[in-house]
Amino acid sequence: MIKLKGIKKFYKTKTGLVNALNGIDLEVNKGDIFGVIGYSGAGKSTLIRLINMLEKPSEGRINVDGSEMSTLSKKALRDARKQIGMIFQHFNLLWSRNVKDNIAFPLEIAGVPKRERERKVKELIHLVGLEGRESAYPSQLSGGQKQRVGIARALANDPKVLLCDEATSALDPKTTEAILDLLVDINQKLGLTIILITHEMHVIKKICHQVAVIDNGIIVEEGEVLDVFRSPQMAITKDFVKQVTSDSESEEAVKLIKQTYPSATIARLTFAGEAANRPVISELLKQEAIDVNLLEGNLSQTQRGALGTLTLLLDGEAPKVKDAITFVENQGVVVEVIQHASEPVS
């Protein structure tokens, strides 16, 4: 559906060239929700703006649904952009227009007859859950409602691709969850391909099928969301994963347990997909002669299946503890030993 090959983007400044993107290769399958995550300045906003040619690449090729975007004439590019909707962090609504007229705006530009515009706007208002707010102006809407207007407007021309530029960053947690649920609903009902950029890993976990991690203009890690959560390879990816698999309270609990049981092994288990549905711990207790205490844990759902973590205290003879860890790993569970037996407490 979307292919980026050898993408580079340079900006000229008074001090010289700035490399915003440096050799991006990326492929997004039709119907997927693809997340791009990175810290501020990593290049993710530049990347998403290149897909609909709001900015042109310095090098490389961008293909969207069979069209080489950088080779299109101005008219052909305008037509191609109708197939790519975009929503923004700060909504970008027209403040002098009400909800209906904001949603109708791209249809007016496209020359759609009034009766057809009204039908389409009504359909989109229902889709995004804004019934009763048709005549409200942006100043009368909450942040979540404004973003729903932005989503409806982006869908007005029946695009095949929806680009989301930090679409939930300006929203509170509860509203963020509602908007993410709406994006999943749209993806499933319309078969829309969605590319979403963010710096929040819980957004990736909740709705994305695939994820790419970008750092200093380079994709450093990429894959199925469950695979990346189960076994992150790069330090930056591990930091992002910790955003949703651990918190300060659990880390403090682990520190306290390490002080209380300095001779025991402490291990963090990460379950993903089918492994999260297996009775691994009960089987472990049946087969291995060690004491197992649960320190903390959580379980959540991703678009590709369950994801969970457990932190365990394993107490027993060293060979038995080693056998227990091997048994768990053989069940498809990733095990990170936080503290080895008799390890000095830091």
User: pTM for this structure?
Assistant: 0.84
Task: Tell me: pLDDT of 203 over 80.
Answer: yes
What is the predicted pLDDT for the residue at 253? 67
Tell me the pLDDT tens digit for each residue of 209-253. Answer: 999 999 999 999 999 998 898 888 999 998 998 877 665 556 666
Q: What is the CATH number of the domain that holds 222?
A: 3.40.50.300
Longest pairwise C-alpha distance within the chain: 78
Residues in Cβ contact with 89 at an 8 Å cutoff, skipping those fewer than 6 apart: 165, 166, 167, 169, 170
Picking from 192, 208, 243, the residue at the C-terminal end of a domain is 243
Amino acid residing at 340: H
Q: How many domains does the chain have?
A: 2
Q: How far apart are CA 14 and CA 219, in angstroms?
A: 27
Tell me the pLDDT tens digit for each residue of 245-301. Answer: 665 556 666 677 777 777 778 888 888 777 777 788 888 887 777 888 887 777 777
Picking from 243, 271, 289, the residue at the C-terminal end of a domain is 243
Both structure tokens of 272: 């993903």
> Is 13 in the same domain as 46?
yes
Q: Does 345 fall in a domain?
A: no
Q: Does 344 fall in a domain?
A: no
DSSP string spanning 148-209?
HHHHHHHTTT--SEEEEESTTTTS-HHHHHHHHHHHHHHHHHH--EEEEEES-HHHHHHH-S
Q: What is the CATH number of the domain that holds 309?
A: 3.30.70.260
> Is 220 in the same domain as 256?
no
> Is 200 in the same domain as 295?
no
> Is 252 in the same domain as 123?
no
> Is 184 in the same domain as 258?
no
> Is 10 in the same domain as 137?
yes
Tell me the pLDDT tens digit for each residue of 123-169. Answer: 999 999 999 999 999 999 999 999 999 999 999 999 999 999 998 98
Q: Which of 319, 308, 251 is nearest to 280 (CA)?
A: 308
Q: How far apart are CA 338 and CA 260, in angstroms?
A: 15
> Is 296 in the same domain as 205?
no
> Is 261 in the same domain as 216?
no
> Is 298 in the same domain as 169?
no
> Is 272 in the same domain as 225?
no
> Is 68 in the same domain as 135?
yes
What domain range is 238 assigned to? 2-243
